[in-house]
Structure 1
Amino acid sequence: MEAELAALAASGATTLVGLMVSETWAQARDRVARFFARGGDENSVGEELQLSRQELMAARAARDEFAGSDIEAVWRTRLRRVLLADPEAAEELRSVLAELDPDARNDPAVSVHNSISGGVQNGPVFQGQHFSGLTFGGSGAVPPEQGAGAV
């Protein structure tokens, strides 16, 4: 059961950090603050969430790839503690995620077809549905052994 709660906390933290950089953050923040406060001080939790968002936005502007992971880890730990302290919170968190996660509202049965043709591909190829924040540092140069006329 603890592995299930850990997975739910991880999913929740990933969704939370994703929402922090979305247009729907204001509504999401209020809903998440109510979940964490659980009858306590929503304003305090709301301020913590807002601070995390500001840190995340500053890190993105500075191209700090690790800050997002750090912020996500903090909220994953907090979610896990809430779930361990109150087993009924798991169902509430699932409900919150279903409300706030845009992917949860989409039809999960999506068919993806990708084709790669035309010879040798000298770069990464990804197959999937949703990608964000990908950065590649390749020079674009073709290795000599794979250049034009190579056998």
Structure 2
Amino acid sequence: MAAELVQQVVTTGATTVVGLMATEAWTQVRSRLAVLFGRGRDTEQVAAELEGIRVEVVRADGDAEPVGDHTAELRGRIRRLVRQDPGAAAELQAILAEFGPQQPAGAQVSITTNTFSDGTASGILVMAYNSVVHQHEAAPAPLPRSTPPRD
């Protein structure tokens, strides 16, 4: 499997799994993910680990730091899984296609760009489920021009 495709599966997979943890679909998808992630381990133990992550994600209530930590943890887990068994990527994609967010046929994608030019903005802004965020350092504001004193 091409490295770019693996990276896409890893990133999209982890983000989607964390997103599913906060939905009604989690009760259905948890056991399938436990089988997938469990490979050679006790499925119930893996399901309990995933449930522990879900509890923390739900408890985070929008706090990006713990959600990001768990997303990173799952990215690592998925990456190791796909390295050990490349066929697991297709299995994960099938599960996520069944339970993940669906985009209707013919749906259009819109790209929104926000530019801050005067002032300071800080914090995290999430605008959509699948977003790409680019953060750039703002250029310093130009100094006001001094005008010569009038006589």
Q: CA deviation at 1:2?
A: 2.2
What is the TM-score with the length of structure 2 in the denominator? 0.67
**Moved runs in structure 1, 4+ residues, more than 3 A?**
none
**Cα distance in structure 2, aligned partners of 1:111 and 1:3:** 24
Aligned to 1:41: 42
Which ranges in structure 1 are unaligned for 5 or more consecutive residues? 114-129, 133-151
Which 10-residue stretch deviates more, 34-43 or 77-86?
34-43
Q: CA deviation at 1:39?
A: 4.8
Indicate conservation of the 8 Å contact 1:21/1:53, yes or no.
Answer: yes
Which ranges in structure 2 are unaligned for 5 or more consecutive residues? 111-126, 130-151
Indicate conservation of the 8 Å contact 1:5/1:84, yes or no.
Answer: no
Amino acid at match of 2:104: D
**Cα distance in structure 2, aligned partners of 1:21 and 1:87:** 28
Aligned to 1:86: 85
Aligned to 1:127: none
Q: Deviations over 1:108-151 (max 9, x none)?
A: 421478xxxxxxxxxxxxxxxx836xxxxxxxxxxxxxxxxxxx
Matches within 5 A, 1:35-74: 35-60=36-61, 63-74=62-73
Indicate conservation of the 8 Å contact 1:12/1:97, yes or no.
Answer: yes
- Rg: which structure is higher? 2
**Cα distance in structure 1, aligned partners of 2:26 and 2:87:** 25
Amino acid at match of 2:51: Q
**Cα distance in structure 2, aligned partners of 1:38 and 1:100:** 21
**Aligned residues: percent identity?**
38
**RMSD, aligned α-carbons:** 2.0
What is the TM-score with the length of structure 1 in the denominator? 0.67
